[in-house]
Structure 1
Amino acid sequence: MNNKIFLMLQLQNQLNDATNGEEWTKGITKNGKSINWKRCIYMECAEMVDSFGWKHWKSIDVEPDWQNHQIEVIDVWHFIMSLAIEEYSKNLKGGIEDIAIDISALKALSGIESDAAAFASQEDVMQKIENLIRIAVSKESIDLEELVSEFFDLVSMSGLNLETLYRLYVGKNILNQFRQDHGYKEGSYIKIWKGEEDNVVMKRIWEEHADVTPDELYKKLEQAYPAESES
């Protein structure tokens, strides 16, 4: 079993417990709101496409925003893991360790365990994203093995590998916790910090402090977070 996969599943489960209540795997939050992870996946994938200059009638020479795209890849991974945990729970297939074992056995995982590949062409990346959307919108029972395998292909095509996926995921997980602690659900959270989105600030902290722990990252986010008067 791959330890990084297991740890990410653990963190996602903990985040969902804290955000949605401990019975979120039944498809409903602690506030009675319905959860649809498949919709989360395809909507986030649609946002991901906007990292590229796909509009033939507008900004035809715009360069791909790979930094934003990589953050969107991490967001999709949150939802894929959440869907996997829910599916395994509903179908009595086991818990997080069982999911980690099954994902670790996928051939596609070996493709992201090595050094990060170069960025693929934006057209190839968009086609891969659209294939993830196709899987997610299927009315039939979702094929988790196909979904995760296609996602790992996207990881490699996006200039990421397992190590960078893990680091960015942990960073976004901590940022999500930070958002919840600072009024995200209530609408008082400030997402733009001195002209930069919080995702960008988090990513830069990871890049500048290679050995930062999750607790230290949280503290650095607190230090960087703008006061209400600065928003």
Structure 2
Amino acid sequence: MPHSPDDQSLTEILAKLSQMQNALNRFIDPDWKANRSLDDWALAITLETAELIESYPWKWWKNIAAPADMKNVRIELVDILHFALSGAAQGGADEGSETGEAEASLAATAAVTKGTKEAIQVYRQIIRDADMKKFHLVLRKVFAIAAHYDFNIIAYYVAKHTLNHVRQLGGYKKDSYQKINPEGMEDNEMLHSCIAQISSAEIIGDFEGVGNSILTSVYNVFEIPEHQRNTIVKWME
């Protein structure tokens, strides 16, 4: 099992990821808080969660014995994390809430490992949470689900954050960026090897050092010039 952060560590990690997300949002749009609404983040989470659900063989009329595409589940879960961080930073409705209902909903995420039907119910609840602007609860659920799935979402976040920077450098906002390389591989697929050997315990214990190694790996994969690269410290300014 991965090293899952305790409550204090999770709070500290979320604060660091929030700083990174805020910096990326400013890079994309310096006035992002003025130009975006909570509904924007809720809609983004809804659509990313729908894409995640498509990773499961939920269609009872088509290929019901197929395994879930867990690589894509990981990528979509990290995308949900990006948007939940943004919504929480802009002012979600549930900051600091630790109600019994919220705790029960959080505990229910364990069902993701039981089967397709149960997993989809968990994700449909995330859509409802986002619609109610409960971004802090969505954040906690994302980390809980990652622990149930046994994967390192902190490292995945840093890798995808770096890819999002690469995309912006390549003209993503202007629709000139190519997500598929000449060999036919999507850019998301190229992230898995960048973090394959990194444990959750390592990045929790040395966020800056291990985070910088992930940034370097991703920048190297996409051949980004040195003068366009950032470091963890730079992203957290």
Under a length normalisation based on structure 1, what TM-score does the superposition of the two structures give?
A: 0.72
Q: What residue number does 2:190 align with? A: 201
Residue of 126, 133, 136 corresponding to 1:132: 126
1:136-215 matches, within 5 Å, as 136-138=130-132, 142-160=133-151, 164-193=152-181, 194-207=183-196, 213-215=213-215
TM-superposed deviation, 1:79: 0.4
CA distance in 2: counterparts of 1:184 and 1:35, whole angstroms: 22
Identity of aligned residues (%): 26
The C-alpha deviation readout for 1:21-67, integer Å capped at 9, x for no partner, is 2x2122439xxxx9710100111101110000111111122111001
Asked whether 1:13 is paired with 2:22, we answer: yes
TM-superposed deviation, 1:4: 2.1
Flag structure 2 segments of 5+ consecutive residues without an equivalent. Answer: 1-7, 200-209, 225-237
The change in CA–CA distance for 1:190 and 1:145 in structure 2 (over 3 A counts) is closer
TM-superposed deviation, 1:208: 5.3
The C-alpha deviation readout for 1:78-136, integer Å capped at 9, x for no partner, is 00000000016xx9x9xxxxx7xx59xx979x99xxxxxx9442322211100001122
CA distance in 2: counterparts of 1:78 and 1:44, whole angstroms: 10
| SS of match in other structure, 2:173 | coil
Q: What residue number does 1:64 align with? A: 68
TM-superposed deviation, 1:188: 1.9
The answer (yes or no) to whether the contact 1:44–1:75 under 8 Å persists in 2 is: yes
The answer (yes or no) to whether the contact 2:39–2:131 under 8 Å persists in 1 is: no
Q: What residue number does 2:217 align with? A: 217
Q: Larger deviation: 208-217 or 65-74? A: 208-217
CA distance in 2: counterparts of 1:166 and 1:134, whole angstroms: 24
Flag structure 1 segments of 5+ consecutive residues without an equivalent. Answer: 94-98, 112-117, 225-231
Q: Larger deviation: 184-193 or 65-74? A: 184-193
> What code does the residue aligned with 1:200 have?
E
State the aligned residue count: 196
Q: What residue number does 1:227 align with? A: none
Residue of 7, 29, 32 corresponding to 1:24: 32
Which one has the bigger helix percentage?
2
The answer (yes or no) to whether the contact 2:143–2:153 under 8 Å persists in 1 is: no
Flag the structure with more relative contact order, 1 or 2, with Cα contacts below 8 A and sequence separation at least 6: 2
